Structure 1
Amino acid sequence: MLRTLSLQLHSVVTGSYVSGTYSIVFANCPNEQIARDIARAVLDKKLAASVNILPKASSLYFWNGEIEEATEILLLIKTKTSKVHTLSSYIRLMHPFEIPEIFSLPIDRGDAHYLKWLEESMKEE
């Protein structure tokens, strides 16, 4: 939490982007309707600025000691790193899987205009 606050303060004071201020969250969904519902919900809550829905990802994974295979829908969710925990918890509440795949990667670099748009898109009104 303190690291996130110091990154935000540094970005504001210097006007430069600090690596890790924003993240991409990955989440798999069992079908397109659930993916769209989750995407709209996180956008409505201002937990993300943008969500890409990538159709028909083939997934192979271990479940209960067996290799399973499924077709899933992948969400790429762009958000502030400081919101990742809340976003993940919110997705878990909506998600039908017992253990949904939710993980994040920090954004190392990005277009300054896009990153500014990310910030502005998640401002609470």
Structure 2
Amino acid sequence: MDRLGSRCPLPGYSRPSVLICFLILATSFLMYPMLRTLSLQLHSAITGSYISGTHSIVFVNCPNEQIARDIARGILDKKLAASVNILPKTSSLFFWKGEIEEATEVLLLIKTKTSKVLMLSGFIRLVHPFEIPEVFSLPMDQGDVHYLKWLEEGMEED
């Protein structure tokens, strides 16, 4: 063991194997999410199964149907989603600046990849007229394989 320690190029380290083990563990820990995602995608491609949480439904309230349509078209033009449903006339009650408010709004149901939710949220903040637009998402647990494939194709870059 002394011979190994005497050849260590770093001063103060008598055991280079400890440093190497630490670097391998740290790299493995940092790479785990990416490696897990890649392995799940490979498994999904081979077996044709769906990876839960790959897609999400994003909910956004808009003040009227015209604004909802404009936002929906912008989302689709930028390929941030494959499909947007516009559900008219929802009644909303909410706290705003310490008071209970009541409004009629239009709800967008946006189907997208979970990986695009952050970009989608940023886009909505830029174009939405509300000071704080309601934007939240729920991951899809399951779905028809053909529909989910269609979602993927709808968001492919040209």
TM-score after normalising by structure 2: 0.75
Deviation for aligned residue 1:13:
3.7
Query: In structure 1, the residue corresponding to 2:124 is in which secondary structure?
Result: helix
CA distance in 1: counterparts of 2:53 and 2:151, whole angstroms = 13
CA distance in structure 2 between the aligned counterparts of 1:62 and 1:101, rounded to whole angstroms? 13
Determine if the alignment matches structure 1 residue 118 to structure 2 residue 117. Answer: no
Amino acid at match of 2:109: L
Question: Are 2:4 and 1:2 aligned?
Answer: no
Is it true that 1:38 corresponds to 2:71 in the alignment? yes
Counterpart of 2:119 in structure 1 is 86
User: Deviation at 1:4?
Assistant: 8.7
The answer as to 2:56 corresponding to 1:23 is yes
Give me the whole-angstrom Cα distance separating, in 1, the residues matched to 2:138 and 2:102: 25
User: What percentage of residue pairs aligned between the two structures are identical?
Assistant: 77
Provide the aligned length of Structure 1 versus Structure 2: 125
Q: Aligned ranges for residues 36-115 of structure 1 at < 5 Å?
A: 36-115=69-148
SS in 1 for 2:52: coil
Distance 1:49 1:23 in 2: 11
Higher-RCO chain (CA-CA 8 Å, sequence separation at least 6): 1
More deviation, 1-10/81-90: 1-10
SS state at 1:68 partner: strand
Once residues 108 and 34 of structure 1 are traced to their aligned partners in structure 2, the CA distance between those partners, rounded to angstroms, is 30
* Whole-angstrom CA distance in 2 between matches of 1:76 and 1:5: 26
Higher Cα Rg, which structure: 2
Deviation at 1:16, TM superposition (A): 1.0
Q: CA deviation at 1:5?
A: 4.2
CA distance in 1, matches of 2:42, 2:80: 20
Two-structure CA RMSD over aligned residues (Å): 1.6
- Give the 3 Å change call, closer, same or farther, for CA 77–30 of structure 1 in structure 2: same
Tell me, what secondary structure is at the counterpart of 2:95? strand
Is the Cα contact below 8 Å between 1:4 and 1:81 reproduced in 2?
no
Which amino acid in 2 is paired with 1:2?
Answer: M
Q: Name the structure where strand makes up a greater proportion of residues.
A: 1
Greater helix share, structure number: 2
Runs of 4+ in 1 over 3 A off after TM superposition: 1-10
How far, CA to CA, are the matches of 2:125 and 2:42 in structure 1? 30
